[in-house]
Amino acid sequence: MTPADLAGFVHEAADYAGHAGKEAALAEFNRKDGAISRGDLYVFAYDYDGTLLAHPHLKEAIGTSLIERTDPFGMKNIRELCDTGRSGGFIVFVWPNPARADRQELKIGYVLPVDDRWWLGSAVYLNEVTGVDSSFPLPSP
C-alpha cells in the first residue's frame, strides 16, 4: 500500500458518495464486505462535530461524538482528523491495532470533505507502508 493508493481509494469512495447519496454511501461504508471495501481497507465517515457516521468495525459508536477521544499521548485524534477533513489531506495519528492485541501504532490516514456537513477517510497502519514496526510502548504515567 502506498500513500497514493490510499488517497486514490478515498477519492473513489468520495466519488461513490457523490453519486449514491449520503444515506446509501454510509450504509455501504458500514459493511465490512461492502462494494467500497478492499479486504482490510475500509472507509470511515464523520461529521465535522466528530460524530461517527460510518465505520464497519465500530458500529456500536455510530451516532456518537468522538471529538474528545484522546490517545495515550494526548492527541485528540478525531478532532485532528475532522480539522484535516475540512480541506483534505494526509494525517498521521495513533490508534490501537486489534490484530496486535490493541498495541498502540501509528496510522497514516487520508481524508476528504464530502460537503460542508461531513467527510470521509481511510487509514492504514504505518508498518503496512514502510514495512517497519510502528508500535511503541505507552508513556509512563
Q: CB count, 10 Å around CB of 30?
A: 20
Helices 22-29 and 3-20, interaxial angle, to 10°? 140
Listed by start position, the domains of the chain span 3-128
Q: Which CATH superfamily is domain 3-128 in?
A: PAS domain (3.30.450.20)
94, β-bridge pairs: 106
Name 49's Cβ contacts closer than 8 Å, sequence gap at least 6. Answer: 65, 67, 82
Say what the pTM is: 0.91
pLDDT (tens, 9 = 90+) of the chain, 141 residues, equals: 889 999 999 999 999 999 999 999 999 999 988 888 888 899 999 999 999 999 999 999 999 999 999 998 899 999 999 999 999 999 999 999 888 888 899 999 999 999 999 999 999 999 888 888 888 766 555
